[in-house]
Chains A and B, each alone.
Chain A
Amino acid sequence: MTPAAMVATAILLGAFVSTAGVYGLLYCLSHSHERPVVKVGRSLSCWALCAIAAAIVLVTPLHPWWKLLVAGSCAGYLAIPTVTWRHLDRLHRGKT
């Protein structure tokens, strides 16, 4: 890996997880905020997460197995907010 590719890869990886966090946050906020900007932000961050994952897969010189891991993680980061929110909701509703 060239030095420049190493730095670019690292920054993309950091952006990947950061965007996952932003998506998770906006997903949660969209449940309590009706404002369109939150819903638009949620969609944009979802697409941004997929775009960054695609960039890592297509552009970085990582081995294919690592790229597969990133793609799988992308699916995980997309699923976690939905699954977790639903689980917490059922847990809280079921407590009474």
Chain B
Amino acid sequence: MYTQDPIFWRAGAIAASAFMCVVLAALTIDTLQQITPGGAHVPPYDVINRSIGYQYDSARGEYVPKIGGEELIFGHRYTAAEASDLIARGKLVIQSRACIDCHTFFGNGAYYAPDLTRVWMDPFWARYDGPKRADRLTKFLMHPIRLGARPMPDLHIQRDEAEATVAYLKWMSGVDANGFPDRFGAPAPAAGGK
């Protein structure tokens, strides 16, 4: 019977792998377009000049970022090029200090410290208005104070590095992550209720 012939299964392995690779390639091309800054899911870098909120969208049935009016950080209106440079520097800070090995970004990383996806609008920091929030976050990164049971170490982050990181975190909070994290900043439901 042909199913006992290894050649049949070899052909199956090649066909299955090849087909899936082609589908993955096609989806990758589409996805990369949508995750380019300014694309459908990822805001342009100069969104750091705007206010960013997080609200429940009943049409989509999930929480989505909401980009609002002007809300500057560090007293500066960044051009697209300046914002791009600042965001790139912020990412370099995040990599140089291996933040992802304590924190998570979009839930990816280590689970020792809080998720940073929406830290910009975390209720802890959102009690400060935009410009002040950026300053407070910057000071925290430069000189971490103990906020709870899990102290953040002092990673010798300089002021310009801290500002770039804060700008990065603000930009990142504007990414549409299909509702992750759910209910961020919303009042808690009952355990059995929505």
Contact = CB atoms under 8 A, between A and B. Distances in A.
Contacts of A94: 4
A91 B194 CA distance: 54
B69 interface: no
Contacts of A33: none
Nearest to B194: A2
Interface in A54-96: 87, 90-91, 94
Contact of A4 (B1, B3, B191): B191
What is the predominant secondary structure among interface residues of chain B facing chain A?
loop
B179 to A, nearest CB: 12
A95 B161 CA distance: 67
B148 interface: no
Interface in A1-20: 1-4
Interface residues of B, number: 8
Contacts of A3: 189, 191-192
A94 B3 CA distance: 12
A43 B3 CA distance: 28
Contacts of A87: 3-4
Contact of A2 (B1, B3, B4, B189): B189
Given A2-B189, A3-B191, A91-B4, 15 more contacts: A1-B194, A2-B191, A2-B192, A2-B193, A2-B194, A3-B189, A3-B192, A4-B191, A4-B192, A87-B3, A87-B4, A90-B1, A90-B3, A90-B4, A94-B4
13 contacts: A1-B194, A2-B191, A2-B192, A2-B193, A2-B194, A3-B189, A4-B192, A87-B3, A87-B4, A90-B1, A90-B3, A91-B4, A94-B4
